[in-house]
Amino acid sequence: MPSQSFMPCFGIDNTSEDAAMVQGGREPFVYVRDANNVNVTPAGKIDMIASGGKVTSAKYKGLWQSPLHKDVFGLYVNDWVKVRVDGNSWSHEVLATIGDGDICHAVLNNLVVMAGKHGIYNYDGQTCQRLTIDTPPTPFAASAIADYTKTRSVAISWLRGSMESSLSDYTTIGEVGQVALPMVTDPTVTGINIYATNVGGTDMQLAGTVNRGATSFVITEGHTLGMAVQFAHLSPMPTGKYLCYWRGRLITATANVIRFSEPLAYHLHDERHGFIQTSQRVTFIQPVESGLWVGQSDHVIFIQGTQPDDMTISIKSAQAPVPNSAIQIPSNDIGEVAEGGSLVTVWLASNGYVAGSSAGQIVEYQAGRISNISAQSGTTVRFDRRLVTAVN
């Protein structure tokens, strides 16, 4: 075939028969079976991909750039680091020692949040600390119960500024009694809330607040109780392999379980109701306005609703997605799947790139032309109005 017949090129087609690879007429075009190290322009011109070079010898993993701050973060050996990118001179600032393993990032209320092997951390540009607060140990009665017909229950929570932990288990004391408080080992905890019921009651109310160094608290006869407890029966938000923010909740996913934080209480999780189980392991999770696009081993699902109890799951694609290849992009870059939402999710599947809209609809751009794409993992970036996915 003469060389000029390769123009204009419409890209790769590895599924059609040979006769369908070339079309003549007033608007001729061709497809090719494979194309390596080239870009195909919208006009059908083939350009060589610009070469790259080594920028650092440091073995960073999980590199991610904040869309809000433009700072770069990653994992270096066992440390979560902020990477200083300066041409071929890269260095980093250690934020926290988190252990080796997968990490995932998100932006949460102007903070950078990272889920690692041993927990969820946040960074405000100055300070890095664990997002969650451990549930306190159970306090115990430091004085004997004089009258067992007049008892009340007591529990405590820990404070970090205005943030409050989940509630400890209950202990029983008399109507008047002293509560021994456990030692605080978390250096970020600033105070302790003590909750109690009325005599013979069941509703926990605030009995008092003390500083982190207090070792006991006395409840007196007719003790005035304040606001009701907010975070009973909750636990610290668990970490996960995947992390995102959606509708006032932080979401993590590991294996086939997707877990939701409490609304606007991102550090807390309801183990009884705040989760969804999928039929297969999660291979990516990306939010849009009305739901979550979730990759599975051999298909993609859309989870729609406002909270875990009323969410519905529907299968939207029967093609296997490349794990970790999903990316969130502005809908004005892909007008045909905008459907009123400001963001769409795009991932690489076995039949090419697929876009998922906020309404749960998909567009398979290379369906019928490309097949048999497979990889263990992929990383997608948006560059010069193109999507580029590196796979391994």
Distance CA 258, CA 294 (A): 10
Task: Report pLDDT for 2.
Answer: 42
- In the predicted structure, residue 251 carries a pLDDT above the cut 80: yes
What pTM was computed for the model? 0.90
Domain positions in the chain are: 3-48, 60-130, 140-219, 237-391
- In the predicted structure, residue 27 carries a pLDDT above the cut 80: no
Give pLDDT tens digits for 37-82.
888 887 888 888 877 788 888 899 999 999 888 999 999 999 999 9
Closest CA to 66 of 35, 111, 101: 111
Give pLDDT tens digits for 214-231.
999 999 988 999 999 999
Task: Report pLDDT for 345.
Answer: 95
Rounded percentage of the chain residues whose pLDDT exceeds 70: 97
- In the predicted structure, residue 297 carries a pLDDT above the cut 60: yes
Task: Report pLDDT for 339.
Answer: 64
250 and 264 in contact (C-beta within 8 Å)?
Answer: no
Query: To the nearest 5 percent, what fractions of the chain are helix, strand and coil?
Result: 5, 45, 50
Give the model's confidence band at 123: pLDDT under 50 very low, under 70 low, under 90 confident, else very high.
very high
Which regions of 241-356 does DSSP assign to beta strands (E)?
Answer: 242-246, 249-254, 257-262, 265-269, 275-277, 284-288, 291-295, 300-304, 312-317, 327-330, 343-349, 352-356
262 and 275 in contact (C-beta within 8 Å)?
Answer: no
Give pLDDT tens digits for 351-389.
999 999 988 999 998 888 899 999 999 999 988 778 899
Amino acid, res. 334: I
Taking residues 272-289, report their average pLDDT: 96
- In the predicted structure, residue 3 carries a pLDDT above the cut 50: no
258 and 244 in contact (C-beta within 8 Å)?
Answer: no
DSSP string of 308-328, one letter each residue: GGG-EEEEEE-SPBPTT--EE
